[in-house]
Structure 1
């Protein structure tokens, strides 16, 4: 009797002490709830992210000016080099994510790639400051570098792109890993983490867009790249200081291999009938999934064709013989593939939003260039600097959402997060429509002044650039709903052992949004320049119709929102069961 009384108590105590999501500590022991994870671990992750983003934006925000003035590149060449590099920064996360999920785990992937990142930043600083490496033959602000100096610069730049590829897809997921999904109290904190994660990104971006850009333009590029390099070193120190507090998810093997196994097994059994009783489908017998670091997933009725991969045929003897995963897959493995496929429509709906977001660096700047930029009598604010108001908006709305909107919404929706992740993203999509309408209305007013005063050939009109502030504030507010909701959604709905890969997938919407913007501008100009007309976006915007382009984006955003509503109403949130091992 004494033994029967003690044993359950011991099991209960163990449940209270250790996490149930399969995480381990840095020494590969089961993660102790009291000693690891939670906010005590996240403070190091947030500090790391703030410094890393400061370094990234401090180096990238003003990059086009460096290419023009120091590498003697023209506007088009410099702009293309920046967009090519930026696009690469959003493609390399697919590499880092695969390595993290398949082999290294998120901690060791970040730990490896930060050294590539720091090496790239160091080389970039040297290329801008060390005689022989920095561009020579300078005449005022224009230099004439040799091929070796240009090569060193671009090697450094793409080392940074590779380095960020191991950090971008892992760091947000790694932070979320610090909260046990099987613990209700910790699960609630996870949603709050994503808000503060995005907040820390924008703190870094704010410092970069103000202090570091000023240093680059007024002190010198050596210091301008050197300070971000120091910030990146501090980011690395922050990250490793928290090592003993981290919870680590163990890698589950190649996610792409598991996906192809399901596809191959399903097509091999194309003529097999799936039983009505889904409990007859193959699944491991114990509570744990056969995929390391993953919980079991409940069977779903969508995409039934792939259920064939889990149907046991006469040739799939599982008695005394190891299962051949290219012939027979578990229900959890099948549901992994289904999860990825069902995420794709939601992922695609984020591309138009990313296109709207990209206007801050292009059309908003061009619009601002035509307006009065004076701030007082002697100071002019660069039109690109108005993106500060987007950052300020994010920094304002993030804590407001976390501390006020969520508790208020919870009273009406009965949702623990205030809104579901899909509802949150949808609200952001609606706000982005208003941002484009606001930008369009401002352009109508601006063009009306041009027409009334016959100011078609004036470079600037006496209309304050600060009338652009509302459209920047609306974009920032939309970010808090859509981008943060997207971060949380892709982490939460991704299969446990594919979270880095899904985070990388969500990042690709930014790259595709930029590409879509380029396509739209190209198509619009080709269609509207016929018969000798200047087109909607000519070099002289006073003779164009930039307002039509903003309204086009508003219409596309509205149509995208309608499609999103259809997608979200049919989406079923995943259900995980059991424990990870």
Structure 2
């Protein structure tokens, strides 16, 4: 069936983007003060200089373990959405758990045990919706308007950082002025608003029905191929063995997923480093001269420049940089974007390591140097994270859109687990305790460069294939929405 190309965006998009902006305000607002709050409230409340290094390591460890859990559970949420309930119901109902988690943080800000329960509930809430939200954006498009998808994913990411900008300016100020209860309570209110916004758009969403548990899926096909290796013919891939029992097109889709996972294998190191700008970098900011343009920034407010830079860079990359390179004959493919992003991530940590060397030597460097590092890291994020969101959706078969997005989020979890383990080792005097001062950041620079070199060899050998639903199929999938 031929389709007319249209430049109209799906009507559901404003509700999805509005929901995401409010939800991200709640998450990043809470997280902006988490590391410094844990140090001041629980790990070193007396501000004993002898305990500060260990206290900071414990706070970093707790923060990264929380983030790793929040990005591991989306895999469970994706299975619930793809197999049983659909994305809409999972996002809506689990958002309530999210709100309860924020309530725990606000009420139990002096009780570490119950505060931790609140973090657990937020992680569960995030697990229910994170993998579904970005995939839900892609579900709203068909072949007639798929050319608008890159732009919308850019604006989707823009909404994330718009919420982040406001929250990382406001919440540290509220924390400093009115205390932890209000600072954690306001993000909870925004999470409730996010849930309401999403509910209001319920009649406009294209909803992909859950596929149910079927043997003709990723897990069954993979295991069948693995246990029948003896049937492999010359010239076949391992997964081609499964074509004797399963749908051939489905097998090709599974092969596409493994190609995506080959790319995603290089992403955890990016997140292991990126997420430090919301913990390690914030703690470094407490030791900087933070006077800027006649104002003194709070340590937690410095990170605000990251989403501000992103808000500026997204349209610049989408409308100027990418088209300019394309016109010059250097196609800015997703794999090339990710590679450059990995390199820029290493460069941002070079700047941070040099700042730390100055601090270790007794200096009091200007916060402008850290802002420069944020500028480089923000460019890396545009190249890696936005590209990854789109890549996760377009390269996965229809029945695995949410699952593929969950695998993308799992790279965040793996990266944060690694950073948490490094900090756990430091706080307990283990192997990584030798990474003192600037050496800690240089370690990550070296690790990233090793991954980058390996990526240069692997990425040219990977093939790509996009999976987009047809317009008439979307009409069938759109439900008469009653709740």
TM range (shorter): 0.7 to 0.9
Structure with larger Rg: 1
How far apart are the structure 2 equivalents of 1:468 and 1:577? 41
Deviation at 1:394, TM superposition (A): 1.0
Corresponding residue of 1:562: 453
Query: Which is bigger in relative contact order (C-alpha 8 A, separation at least 6)?
Result: 2
Residue among 379, 383, 393 paired with 2:309: 393
Deviation at 1:371, TM superposition (A): 3.2
Residue 130 of structure 2 is aligned to residue 168 of structure 1: yes
Corresponding residue of 2:239: 306
Change (3 A) 1:435 1:267: closer
Residue 151 of structure 2 is aligned to residue 238 of structure 1: no
Corresponding residue of 1:432: 345
Please list every run of 5 or more consecutive structure 1 residues that lacks an aligned counterpart in the other structure. 1-10, 18-32, 129-133, 136-144, 277-300, 312-327, 456-460, 530-534
How far apart are the structure 2 equivalents of 1:481 and 1:42? 23
How far apart are the structure 2 equivalents of 1:527 and 1:229? 39
Corresponding residue of 1:279: none
Count of paired positions: 460
Corresponding residue of 1:26: none
1:338-385 superposed Cα distances (whole Å, 9 cap, x missing partner): 2232222211111221222133234434544443334478x6433343
Residue among 298, 303, 312 paired with 1:382: 298
Change (3 A) 1:441 1:407: same
Corresponding residue of 1:45: 16
How far apart are the structure 2 equivalents of 1:475 and 1:489? 20
The RMSD of aligned alpha carbons is 3.2
1:531-563 superposed Cα distances (whole Å, 9 cap, x missing partner): xxxx551xxx4xxxx1x4434433332221221
Residue 65 of structure 2 is aligned to residue 84 of structure 1: yes
- TM-score normalized by structure 1? 0.71
Change (3 A) 1:354 1:66: closer
Change (3 A) 1:267 1:218: closer
Residue 120 of structure 2 is aligned to residue 158 of structure 1: yes
Deviation at 1:77, TM superposition (A): 5.2
Between 1:569-578 and 1:552-561, the stretch displaced more is: 569-578
Residue among 26, 30, 33 paired with 1:55: 26
Corresponding residue of 2:289: 372
How far apart are the structure 1 equivalents of 2:432 and 2:443? 13
Deviation at 1:404, TM superposition (A): 1.7
Corresponding residue of 2:389: 487
Deviation at 1:425, TM superposition (A): 1.1
Corresponding residue of 1:572: 463
Change (3 A) 1:483 1:442: same
SS at 2:212's partner residue? coil
1:236-281 superposed Cα distances (whole Å, 9 cap, x missing partner): 121122222211122223378723322454356544465x9xxxxx
Deviation at 1:487, TM superposition (A): 0.9
1:74-133 superposed Cα distances (whole Å, 9 cap, x missing partner): 6365554433322211111111111111121212211221122223334444x25xxxxx
Deviation at 1:233, TM superposition (A): 1.9
Structure 1 residues 172-571: aligned runs within 5 Å: 172-180=134-142, 182-183=143-144, 186-254=145-213, 258-266=217-225, 269-272=228-231, 274=233, 304-311=237-244, 328-375=245-292, 380-413=296-329, 419-444=332-357, 450=361, 455=362, 461-519=363-421, 522=425, 535-537=434-436, 541=437, 546=438, 548-571=439-462
Deviation at 1:164, TM superposition (A): 1.2
How far apart are the structure 2 equivalents of 1:444 and 1:263? 49
Corresponding residue of 1:99: 80
How far apart are the structure 1 equivalents of 2:398 and 2:310? 29
How far apart are the structure 2 equivalents of 1:73 and 1:555? 31
How far apart are the structure 2 equivalents of 1:79 and 1:446? 19
Matched-pair contact (CA < 8 Å) for 1:173–1:503:
yes
How far apart are the structure 2 equivalents of 1:359 and 1:120? 23
How far apart are the structure 2 equivalents of 1:72 and 1:441? 28
Please list every run of 5 or more consecutive structure 2 residues that lacks an aligned counterpart in the other structure. 46-54, 477-483
Deviation at 1:405, TM superposition (A): 1.9
SS at 1:244's partner residue? coil
How far apart are the structure 2 equivalents of 1:422 and 1:112? 36
Structure whose residues are more often helix by fraction: 2
Deviation at 1:414, TM superposition (A): 7.8
Matched-pair contact (CA < 8 Å) for 2:161–2:311:
yes
How far apart are the structure 2 equivalents of 1:442 and 1:65? 20
Matched-pair contact (CA < 8 Å) for 2:64–2:417:
no
Change (3 A) 1:107 1:413: farther
Corresponding residue of 2:50: none
Change (3 A) 1:578 1:358: closer
